[in-house]
Structure 1
Amino acid sequence: MPKYRDTLPQLSADRTSPFITDGGMGTTFIYRLGLSLPHFAAFTLLETAEGEGVLWDFFASYAQLARERRVGILLDTPTWRASADWGEKLGYDAKALERANLKAVEQLLRLRSEYETEAAPLVISGCIGPRGDGYNPTRPVGAEEARAYHAAQIETFARSEADMISAMTLTHGAEALGMVRAAVAVGMPLVPSFTLETDGHLPSGESLGEAIALVDDATGGAPPYYQINCAHPAHFRKVLEEGGSWLPRLRAVRANASDKSHAELDNATTLDEGDPEDLGRQVGVLSTLLPGLVLAGGCCGTDHRHIAAIHGVARG
């Protein structure tokens, strides 16, 4: 039985500050290490001992930061692209994807055994991504289609020792709903994480409140909480200031280092790492707007400097 599946420690009333996360995996590997990640698929690194070592070093560096800071950390498996459509593009059939998803969890289990302390619990989250392009979606995915499509990856994580699932960079509410329904069917906690454009809306045009309400109303509030990722605080601060009945359900943020739009980032040839200290300050402002914040970390362009700065302000 997974260690934390039934009692996610980031939700504990005893925590003294939000958990942290790792930084931007894909941007670190591509821009800082010069690696090739076809279709932004980091899970392919698990195919070689060298690639496994790259992943281990990446995760271990953040686990060490958490241990030094005496703060909990959530680490997502590098499996954002490890689903059927993307797997087909990469030459992976269903069995190969299943092996990759399980191997990704097993690596983090080994890392947890080495780095976790009582003061720095380590939560393992199986990461899934949208069926389409999270940066430039071409068509909406309906709830039933999403449930059927994502069920295989979700069921694999349910059989593993992952504590939870993070559904990252979601572009519309219906796909999130389908994912949650698939997770409920196998008793797995799943946190939908929406990406937002510079106007604070999902790429679908939905407001954040509309997307959260869609999922909560249809599932009886099944997700433990909701998250924003792959967006800069400047893009959605106003949305949080305006608030709404949905606001207490938003309890996690993984911010981009850059305040550029998705289109600008998608076409960039160099890394925009922004200003780590300024990002920390901006996330600190968000933490005052989200008193129930349980997770504050980084997404594209972020590294240890950004995570350290975020923890420095988010802990209060």
Structure 2
Amino acid sequence: MSKYRNQLPLLKDRPFMTDGGLETSLIFHHGIDLPYFASYDLLKTELGSALIERHYERFINVARKHEVGIALTTPTWRASRDWGRKLGYSDSALANANRLAVDQLAKVRCKWESPKTPIVIVGAIGPRGDGYQVGSRMNVDEAQDYHQEQINSLTATQVDMVGAFTLNYIDEAIGMVRAAKVADVPISISFTLETDGRLHSGDTLQQAIERTDAATAGYTSFFMINCAHPSHFEKTLQSDGEWLHRIRGVRANASRRSHAELDEAEELDDGNPLEFGEETAALRRFLRRLNIVGGCCGTDHRHADELWQAIKRGKAAPSER
């Protein structure tokens, strides 16, 4: 088991970056056909595995340049039962795909980790439905039952924690946290927000964090925001309350477009890396515990570099304010 399993460095205020938009990079920069955004399917071939490894290494080079840690997420956002079956995966094959994804990152960590750049492996899990639309909702028990299988598969590997990304309603988040608690693995919960700063379900971010914590005795290691541009949720963060201190991470989109617009886009909108860096770094004014920052859809190593340069121009690193 990982040396970080019982003492997540992400909780110690040390600055960490993340990798960026793997799936959008594969599709738009490399011309890869990626049904259902299931990037783990590429691990079946040497070429696909090499593409994903190079993606991680580009971000690791940025982390080494800026002497910060990096949290690398496995390409398993779509590696749960319903999505796997769409690609013809049996339950056992899907469990193996989750294991292969972690094994790859474990090798990357052995190759690149250093005292100045610790590497944390996050087993990524995603929503049962579309990350941009609520669609058919599960209750808490259904959500726990659905996600337990993938979380158990990831827990049996060298992951340091699991991370749930692009969640858009509260009951699914609660079910995921309960499943992680059963598996005895740390979990982070990342909600995606619309242009009005709310979840697609209509709930506020504050409601989402407070309800999830209340229903799970605060088991979530920390909360994040992902797959939204900083301009969409900056105003949401301009308030008071303990719930803001539960947010440690942001993985923002490069584009200012809405999710509906991005769904229809045929070309990548990678925004302006310099502006992305400045606007994402500026979120530290409102999130006092923010120490994990990076990109989501449309971002690549350029955005990561600009972000950390902006942080250095501000107050060196989030944890040093």
TM-score interval, normalised by the smaller of the two chains: over 0.9
Q: Which residue of 1 aligns with 2:136?
A: 139
Tell me the distance in 1 between the aligned counterparts of 2:185 and 2:175: 13
Residue number in structure 2 paired with 1:7: 7
CA-to-aligned-CA distance 1:42-67 (integer Å, 9 cap, x gap): 00001111111111111111112212
Give 1:164 shift.
0.5
Q: Give the CA RMSD over aligned residues.
A: 1.0
Match of 2:234, SS state, is helix
Aligned equivalents of 2:150 and 2:308: distance in 1? 31
CA distance in 1, matches of 2:166, 2:302: 23
Q: Deviations over 1:236-267 (max 9, x none)?
A: 00000124331110110000000100000011
Q: What amino acid is the match of 1:7? A: Q
Residues 177 and 215 in structure 1, CA contact (< 8 A), matched pair in contact too: yes
Structure 1, unaligned runs of 5 or more: none
**1:75-128 C-alpha deviation (Å, 9 max, x unpaired):** 000000000000110100100100000000000000000011000000000000
| Alpha-carbon distance between aligned partners in 2 of 1:122 and 1:241, rounded to the nearest angstrom | 31
The separation in 2 between residues aligned to 1:5 and 1:201, in whole angstroms, is: 32
Distance in 2 (alpha carbons) for counterparts of 1:123 and 1:191: 13
**For 1:113, which of 101, 104, 110 is the aligned residue?**
110
Judged with a 3 Å threshold, the aligned counterparts in structure 2 of structure 1 residues 97 and 9 are, in CA distance, closer, same or farther, namely same
Structure 2: which amino acid aligns with 1:206?
A: D
What do residues 294-314 of structure 1 show as CA deviations (whole Å, max 9, x unaligned)?
200000000111111111223
The aligned counterpart of 1:202 is 199
The amino acid across from 1:190 in the alignment is I
Overall identity of the aligned pairs, in %? 48
What letter matches 1:8 in structure 2?
A: L
TM superposition shift of 1:158: 1.0
Give, in angstroms, the shift of residue 19 of structure 1: 0.6
1:201 partner amino acid: R
What's the counterpart of residue 319 of structure 2?
A: none
1:173-217, Cα deviation, whole Å (9 max, x unpaired): 110000000000111001010000000000111110111111100
The structural deviation recorded for 1:171 is 0.7
1:293 matched to 2:290? The reply is yes
Aligned length: 313
The alignment status of 1:82 with 2:84, answered yes or no, reads: no
TM-score (norm 2): 0.96
1:279 to 259, 276, 299: 276
Alignment partner of 1:68 is 2:65? yes
Give the SS at the match of 2:41. helix
Per-residue CA deviations over 1:124-143 (Å, capped at 9, x if unaligned) read 00000000000123122211
Task: Map Cα deviations across residues 256-279 of structure 1 (whole Å, 9 max, x no partner).
Answer: 000100000011000101111111
SS at match of 2:242: coil
8 Å contact from structure 2 (residues 134, 169) kept in 1: no
Matches within 5 A, 1:252-263: 252-263=249-260
Q: Which residue identity does 1:9 align to in structure 2? A: P
How far the C-alpha of 1:68 sits from its partner, in A, is 2.2
Partner of 1:268: 265
Say whether the 8 Å CA contact 2:249–2:291 is kept in structure 1.
yes
Matched residue SS, 1:132: coil
After TM superposition, the structure 1 stretch with the greater mean CA deviation from structure 2, 277-286 or 265-274, is: 277-286
Aligned: 1:233 with 2:230: yes
Contact 1:67–1:116 (8 Å) recurs in 2: no
Does the CA contact (< 8 Å) of 2:74 and 2:105 recur in 1? yes
SS at match of 1:204: coil
CA distance in 2, matches of 1:45, 1:78: 9
Are 1:182 and 2:149 an aligned pair? no
CA distance in 2, matches of 1:243, 1:302: 30
Identify the residue that residue 27 of structure 1 maps to in structure 2.
Answer: 24
Question: Which residue identity does 2:186 align to in structure 1?
Answer: P
Q: Does 1:157 align with 2:154?
A: yes
In the alignment, is the contact (CA less than 8 A) between 1:198 and 1:261 conserved in 2? yes
Can you give the 5+ residue segments of structure 2 that lack an aligned partner in the other structure? Answer: 316-321
| TM-score normalised by the chain length of structure 1 | 0.97
